[in-house]
Amino acid sequence: MRTVTAAAAVLVLALLPVAAPWLQFVLTLAIAKGFAALGVAVLLRAGLISIGHAMFYAASAYGVAFLARAGVNDLGLLLILSVLGGALVGAVAGLFLVRYRAIFFAMLNLAVSMVFYALCAKLYGVTGGTDGMPVPVPAVFGVVLGEPAFKSVLFYLSLGLMVLIGLAVQRYLNSPLGHALAAVHTNEIRLEYLGIPVWAVLLIAYVISAALAGLGGAIAGFAIGRVVPDFAFWTASGHLVLIAVLGGIGGVPGAFIGALFLELLHSAAVTVTDSWNLIVGVTLIIVIMFMPQGVYGLLARKEAASL
């Protein structure tokens, strides 16, 4: 039954841009943010909040821009290399960060991402400062496409990746390694006594979550056609946390449901008001106070997890 529901949802998503072409960009961006929020949600399972994951989102997007500048011009290669780049940044940061918990983890992630943001904005010669860097339209398996055709390819590729990587992450979360995350949240010392190295469990989760955020950033870079330091700004990280919490951290679909909901709300809200952060803040507080299991928790009560 759930497989049918999920397949129907993906089918509707695939057909929506045919009916309303302007939705294609919004949906591509929503899937991109969904990947990043999924990364945040993986860490939330262990009770760790990262208010700095936009850093990996931006790191991969910059990776795409740098590789494109260096002459790499293939969509697949660019995606794979930039996600590996994001994961590498995650491994380096994670080595230091997974030693910390709770407040320290949250704020150190924030601090590291602020340093990254400051460097991106200040090193004008390398990153183009606040003007950012262009992301050109790459070739797809050697075929050079026009921009509209490429955007369609990007959308359906993102949709396909959402299903494939979503399933892979689901497998990971249901594996012993994934269950160990929830155990870290419940009782870390007990886990150590069982002979499971908490440090390694968390580092693997951190690298996976950085890679997911990186994939989202790379897709967003392609969809927007430009990377700017604001990709890494703290408000972007805050939105990722909100998406994860809003959708619910109980399962993989939660992050994507949250991202779709928020992106559609955003498209509607910008026509009315520019106080978007205000709406985000109020929503965040309401969701945490009154529905800690998120939207997905309402749909699938059994496996729902809350903060």
Partner 1 sequence: MLNAVIPLLLDSLASAALIFFAAVGLTLVFSVLRVLNVAHGSLYSIGGYVAASICLFIASRQLNPYWSFLALLFSAVCVAAIFGPLIERGLIRWTYGKSEAVQILITFGLFLILEDLQRVIFGVQSFYEDAPMRLLGTTSIGGVVYLNYQILLIGMAFLIVIGLRLLINHTRLGRLITAVVTDREMAQSIGIDTNRIFILAFSLGVFLAALGGALATPTSGIAPGLGADTMVLAFAVAAIGGLGQIEGAALASLIVGLARVLAIYLAPSLDAVAPYAAMLVVLLIRPYGLFGSVAARRI
Is 112 near partner 1 (CB under 8 A)?
yes
Q: How far is the CB of 283 from partner 1 (least distance, A)?
A: 8
Q: Is the CB of 75 or the CB of 236 nearer to partner 1? A: 236
The correct pick among 10, 14, 88, 114 for binding partner 1 (CB under 8 A) is: 114
Q: How far is the CB of 212 from partner 1 (least distance, A)?
A: 19
Q: How far is the CB of 137 from partner 1 (least distance, A)?
A: 33
Is 154 near partner 1 (CB under 8 A)?
no
Q: Is the CB of 11 or the CB of 307 nearer to partner 1? A: 307
The correct pick among 1, 15, 70, 103 for binding partner 1 (CB under 8 A) is: 103
Stretch that binds partner 1, among 34-42, 48-56, 135-143, 206-214 (CB under 8 A): 48-56
The correct pick among 18, 77, 80, 104 for binding partner 1 (CB under 8 A) is: 104
User: Of 262, 268, 259, nearest to 216 (Cα)?
Assistant: 259
Is 77 near partner 1 (CB under 8 A)?
no
Is 270 near partner 1 (CB under 8 A)?
no
Is 291 near partner 1 (CB under 8 A)?
no
User: Residue numbers of the site for partner 1 (CB under 8 A)?
Assistant: 44, 47-49, 51, 96, 99-100, 102-104, 106-108, 110-112, 114-115, 118-119, 122, 234-235, 238, 241, 245, 275-278, 280-285, 288-289, 292, 307
